[in-house]
Copies of this chain bind each other. A is one copy, B any other.
Amino acid sequence: MDKKQPVVAFLGPRASYTHQAAQSVFPPESHTLTPLMSIADCFAAVQNDKASYSVVPFENSSNGAVVFTLDLLADIQGLCGDVVVTGEIYLPVHHCLVGRVSGGEGGGTQAQSVSGSHDATGLLEKEPTESQQPHVRPTHDLSHIKKLYSHPQAWGQCKRFLSTHLKGIEQIDASSTSRAAELVAEDTTGTTAAISSKLAAEMSSLSVLADSIEDFEGNSTRFFILQRRDAVSPPPRQRSTPQTSQSDPQTQPPPEEASPAPAYKSLLSFTVSHTIPGALQRSLGAFNNHGINLTSINTRPSGEAAWHYIFLVEFEGRKGEGKVDEALKELEGAARGWRWLGSWEAWRGGREGWDSVFEQ
């Protein structure tokens, strides 16, 4: 290992989606890519100057924000106050159902439901509607599958497939989708399956029983690149198309970019007084009054006391632009406190296919 290479920490294990995202921006030949076991570890590595960069998941298009990342950005525990966001990566996420092919006949037989005893109360009455139907069918028989492993985020992204083809099958959380595939590979009965990437299936010598089982065809995850506040330098190749998606039209910028693409995005957190009515609106109004476009708002408990919140707001623009500086001045008077969490150049992944996926 070349000691002079910058260290890039990422949420592991190897072959995770975050690993794929990190590789798309940081060439492994000139960076020391290092898997860590938790998002908190990735923040700590940057905070404590053990890594130049960390790559962590921020939100998934089907499943929403990653709460652990929100709480670490809000620095609720007071452990990573020097960490800022300096880049973003969008990566298409195609989940597969992976496991052993059964000895029986193949061809998309629906797994037997074992959820009959679930409704002992007689209160339930469910008929799947058209909007719930998954857009793919299994390529192999699933009737031998008795147990599923995956990361909790994946259950939320594959609800339709699971409720149609694996209804009532026990779901066991694993620390990552790659780890889920390993657990299935270790199981000698052949009756377990995992939701993971195709890459993880290959690494664990498992078969793909169903491909692209995510609910939405545009399913993708957005990652943040983190650096220390006092060591900010633009991440390399920030504007290039990632290696993993050159042939994949589903690495897109977010739909806000239908209007001319904003050059920069920024993130900050703020808290408001609980005794002054309207404090939240006045804080948000600071952006509106200066024509700044908000791209996301997230609310989390602030950790100060019960029912106190911290708000994370993302917007177009960066410090030094007149209207942003003026909005910050107005925010200063409206919020109880606020903290700058970084600016970065908006992702410009491949645009092919963009309109067909995002137009309504």
Contacts and interface: CB of A to CB of B under 8 A. Distances in A.
Interface stretch (A99-107, A135-143, A239-247, A272-280): A272-280
A340 interface: no
A7 B278 CA distance: 39
A305 B274 contact: no
A360 interface: yes
Name the residue in A79, A124, A288, A360 with the highest tally of chain B Cβ atoms < 10 Å from its Cβ.
Answer: A124
B218 A305 contact: yes
Interface string A155-187: 010010000000000000100000000000000
A124 B259 CA distance: 42
A129 B78 contact: yes
Interface in A94-135: 118-119, 121-126, 129, 131-132
A132 B298 CA distance: 24
A69 interface: no
Contact of A357 (B67, B220, B287, B305): B305
A35 B118 CA distance: 11
Nearest to A122: B50
Interface in A215-259: 215-216, 218-220, 250, 252, 254-256, 258-259
Interface stretch (A56-64, A191-199, A203-211): A56-64
B301 A298 contact: no
A306 B219 contact: yes
A281 B278 contact: no
Interface residues of A, number: 81
Contact of A296 (B254, B255, B299): B299
A5 interface: no
A190 interface: no
A145 interface: no
Interface stretch (A23-31, A36-44, A318-326): A36-44
A285 interface: yes
11 contacts: A35-B121, A37-B118, A41-B119, A216-B303, A216-B305, A218-B307, A254-B307, A258-B275, A278-B291, A280-B297, A304-B360
